[in-house]
Amino acid sequence: MWFNARLATNSTTVADGLKTKKVITSIVAGAGEGGDLLGCDECVESFCKKCIKRNFGRAETQMIEAAKWKCFCCDPKPLRKLLDTARKVMDARNEDEAGSDKENIDEEEDGDGKKKKKEKAKSRKIMGDEKLSEETKAAEKAEKERKIRLEKIREQRQSSKPGQTFETIDWNGILNKKPEVKVDEGLKVHLKTHQIDGIQFMWDCVIESVTQKGNEFILGSNQKGHGCILAHCMGLGKTLQSIGIMHTLYTHEFLNLRHFLVLAPLNVCENWAIEVDKWTGSLQRPLGCWNLQSSTDYHERLDMCKEWEAEGGVLVLGYSLFRMLSTGANMNRKVKRLLPKFKEFLLNKSSLIVADEGHQLKNSESAISKATKQIKTMRRIVLTGTPMQNNLDEYHCMLDFVRPNLLGTNKEFRNRFANPIRNGEHIDATDFDVNLMKKRAFILAKSLDGVVQRKDYSYMCKHLPPKHEYVLSLQLTETQIKLYEYYLKVYNFYWPVSGRGLFGDFQTFLLINNHPRALLQQTEQREVREEHEESEDEDFNAENLDDDDKEVVETPDPKDEDELRALSSLKIRQYILSKAGGLHHMNHADPRDTMRVWYEQVMNESNENTFDWDRAEISIKINALIEIINICHHLGDKLIVFSQSVISLDTIEGFLHDSTVTKGYNSDDDEPKVPMFVGNQKWYKNIDYFRIDGSVTASKRTAFIESFNDLEDPRARLFLVSTKAGGIGTNLVGANRVIIFDSSWNPAHDVQSLFRVYRFGQN
C-alpha cells in the first residue's frame, strides 16, 4: 500500500478545518511536499499520508494501513464531512456579534446535501419605549403629531364635499387652498383616481401644507420636509405621479422648490427623459430634464448640472454614476478635480429626490446607500413596485432613507419587529409566536400608514383586459436527462464546498434545461474571452513547470491538442495531473472550468461523436417555444420572451437566424428539411424581432420599444429581453403574450417582467 513517489504541487491544505476552498484539490492532487503516499485498493489514485493525518487524524491513517481502503475518489463521504465541518467553523467565526438578535431561518445544506432549517432566534422581551434611543422617540413623536395635523386637513377637505372620496370626487386638482397649489389642468385630465390619491399622498408627506404670513410662505411644521414610499404595483403610473408632483412644485415659484434629482437604474434613465417630455412638453410651463447618462464626457455632464441649477427642472442619473460622482469612486485623477463641483450639485442643490426602483437601497452598508444618505434635502420619495423582496432588514434600510430613525436603529427594529415577525413565520412557531407576529405586523403597518402607500394591481383590473397565467410542466428529452444525470454524478460532492458552487451548478442546469446548445455557446464565449486575456500566473506556462511535474506523465499526444485548448482556463499542472490519473482528477477542478470536457465526455459515451447541437428537438423548452411562436403568428399576436440567461437568448436567436437562412433544419442528414416555423416565417433582427440585454444602448433600446409597440407594424412581433436588463422600467404594452423562459431565484424579477406588458396602455 505504500508508494515512495514525490508529487510536488502548488496546493493549499486545510489548517484546523478553516480553509475549505482548495481542500479537495489539496488532498486528491497530493498536497504533500514529500514523503510517503497511500494508495487506493480500488483504483490507481494515491494520497499524501501527511495530509490525511493532518485533516483526519492518526486513527484514519492507521485504519487505512491496516485494512482494505477505498480512496476519496471512490468514496468521497469523508471529504463531505470534513467540508461540512469546515463550513460550520467558518460560519461561526464570521457570525456578527449582533447575530443573537437575528433569526437564522434560511435554508442551508448539510453534509449530505439535504436541506435543513436553521434554528429560530431565542425569544427576547420587546423593548419598551423608555429603552429606545432619543432619536427614535423624537421621530415617533413627530410622526404622531404630523398624522394629527393631516387628519384635521383631510376633515376640512371632506367637509367641502361630504360623503365623497378619491374614488368618487370630482377632483379640482387643488393640493393646498390658501395659498392655492394646484396641479396643471393638462396633467390632471390624464390622472386616474388612484394617481390623484398618490399625488395627494406625496404632497402630504413631503410638503404637508403651506401657510402665508405676510410675504413669507411656511411649508408645513418642518421646513426640512419629510419623505415617503410610493409602493404602487408595477404599471400603475408611478412615473406620471412623480412628474405630476414635481411639475406642481416647479410651477409654484413661491414654494422655492425647483430642482429635482431622479436616481434610477441605468436602463430607465432615458425613459425618464422621454416621460417628462411626454407629459409636460406641451404644457404652458414644461419641465426641463437633463439626463447625465446621455453623455460620457464629464465636462459635458458638469455643464448639464450648471444648466439644471440655473433653470430648475429634473436631473436624471443612474445609481452607479451618482455613487461615483458623489464619492469619487473609480474616478481618475483628472476627473477627480471636478469632484467638489459634482458633490455640490448632487448633494446640496436638489429640492426633492426621487429614487426610482428604490428597493435597490436595501443594504445600509452598501456604497450607494451611504452615498444617498449624504443628500442634504429630506424631501425624498422612493418608488417601488416590490417593497418587500427578501427580508425585513432590507425594508428597514429603505424606510430609514425616507424617514430616518422612525423605526429606530437596526438593533431596535430587529427586537421590536423583525425578530417577532420572523419567529411567527417559522415552521415550529408556537401559538404565542404566531399571535405575537400578528400583533407586531399590525403595529408596524399602522406606524407606517402615513409613510408608505401600497396599491396592488386590482386597480388596473378595472381598466385592463383580464390577465391569464399558465405554468407549463415539460418533460426533459433523453439528451437533457443524460446531461443532467451525468453532471450530478461527476460533480455532486462539490456542492458542500460553498454557495458559489451551488449557484454555478444552478446556471449549468439552467442551460441544460433551456437547450444543450447553450453549453457549447458558453464554452466558446469563454474561450474567446480568454484568448484576449494575459494570465499573470506562471503556472499557466508550460515553460515554468517543475521537473517533477514533467516527469509524472509523458507529453500529450497531438490528438489531445483540441482538448488542451478547451482547458485554457485550467492550470497546465492540473491538466497533466488529469492525464496521469484519468478524468477523476479533472473532476476536482472547478466544474465551470472543465465545461467542454464533461459534456463532450457524456456524448462520446453515448457514441454520439457526430452529435448535432443545432437540433431544436433535443430541448423540450425550445420545441414548446417554437410552437407558441407559430400560434402567435397565426393569431397575429405579439410575443415577449424573458430570460435571465443571455446565453439562452443567444440560443433562441440562433434558431431564428437558422430558420431564416436555411428555411428550417434537418432532423436527419438523409431526410428533407422540416420547417421550424410555420408559413416560412422570416426573422430579420430589428425588423421581425428585437432584443434587449445589457449591451444595448439607451437610444437603441428606446427605438426598439417604439417599433415593437407600433400596432401598425405586424412584422415587429417578437421581443427577446434579458430579465435583469429589461425587466424593470420598460413599457412593452404592444405585446399581449409573455413567456418567462426561465424563472428567477427572486420571484419579484418575474413579476416585474410580467408587468412590463400588463399595465396602463395595454389593449
pLDDT of residue 380: 96
Task: Give the separation between CA 164 and CA 171, rounded to whole angstroms.
Answer: 10
Determine the pLDDT at residue 136: 92
Q: Which residues, at least 6 apart from 557, have a Cβ–Cβ distance to it below 8 Å? A: none
Q: Which pLDDT band, with edges at 50, 70 and 90, does 725 fall under?
A: confident
Give the pLDDT of residue 571.
Answer: 38
Half-sphere exposure of 4 (CA within 13 A, CB side): 0
Boundaries of every domain in the chain: 2-95, 129-461, 478-605, 616-754
| Domain pair 129-461 / 616-754, same fold | yes
At residue 381 the predicted structure's pLDDT band, cuts being 50, 70 and 90, is very high
**Residue range 278-291: average pLDDT?**
94
Q: What is the torsion angle, in degrees rounded to the nearest 10, for the CA atoms of residue 345, residue 349, residue 354 and residue 356? A: 0
pLDDT per residue over 693-719, tens digit each?
888 888 888 889 999 999 888 889 999
Instruction: From residue 97, give the alpha-carbon distance in Å to each of 61, 93, 208, 390, 498.
Output: 39, 10, 41, 22, 22
Query: Is residue 111 over pLDDT 50?
Result: no
Mean pLDDT of 567-589: 39
Which of these, 729, 139, 707, 604, lies nearest to 402 by C-alpha position? 139
The mean per-residue pLDDT over the stretch 733-756 comes to 87
For the record, the C-alpha cell of 530 comes out as: 480568454
Residue pLDDT, tens place only, 614-645: 778 888 898 899 889 888 988 889 999 999 88
Look over the chain and give the mean of its residue pLDDT values, rounded to a whole number. Answer: 76
- Where residue 308 falls among pLDDT bands split at 50, 70, 90? very high
Mean of the pLDDT values across residues 16-42? 46
Q: What is the CA radius of gyration of the chain?
A: 31
3-state secondary structure 529-597: HHHCCCCCCHHHCHHHCCHHHHHHCCCCCHHHHHHHHHCCCCCHHHHHHHHHHCHHHHCCCCHHHHHHH
pLDDT of residue 586: 40
Q: Please report the sign of the dihedral spanned by the C-alpha atoms of residue 245, residue 249, residue 252, residue 255.
A: positive
Instruction: Identify the H or E element spanning 210.
Output: strand 210-213
Which cell goes with 58? 492518526
CATH classification code of 616-754: 3.40.50.300
Confidence of residue 215 (pLDDT cuts 50, 70, 90): confident
458 burial level (CB within 10 Å; 0-12, 13-18, 19+): exposed
pTM summary value: 0.70
Q: What is the CATH number of domain 129-461?
A: 3.40.50.10810
- The answer on pLDDT for 277 being more than 50 is yes
- How confident is the model over 458-503, as pLDDT tens digits? 888 888 888 899 999 998 888 888 888 888 877 664 444 444 466 7
Over residues 77-110, the pLDDT tens digits come to 777 777 666 666 555 554 443 333 333 333 433 4
pLDDT of 613 above 80: no
* Residues 411-460 pLDDT 10s: 999 999 989 998 888 888 888 989 999 999 999 999 999 999 999 888 88
Average pLDDT over residues 652-668: 65
| pLDDT at position 221 | 74
How is residue 89 written as a grid cell? 467553523
Backbone angles phi and psi of 620, in degrees to 5: -70, -30
**Which alpha helices (H) appear in 582-689, and where do they start and end?**
583-586, 595-605, 620-635, 646-662
For the cut 50, the answer to whether the pLDDT of residue 523 exceeds it is yes
Question: Which among 195, 198, 204 has a CA at the least distance from the CA of 151?
Answer: 204
Banded pLDDT at 552 (limits 50, 70, 90): very low
Q: Are 395 and 454 in contact (CB under 8 A)?
A: no
Residue 371: what pLDDT?
92
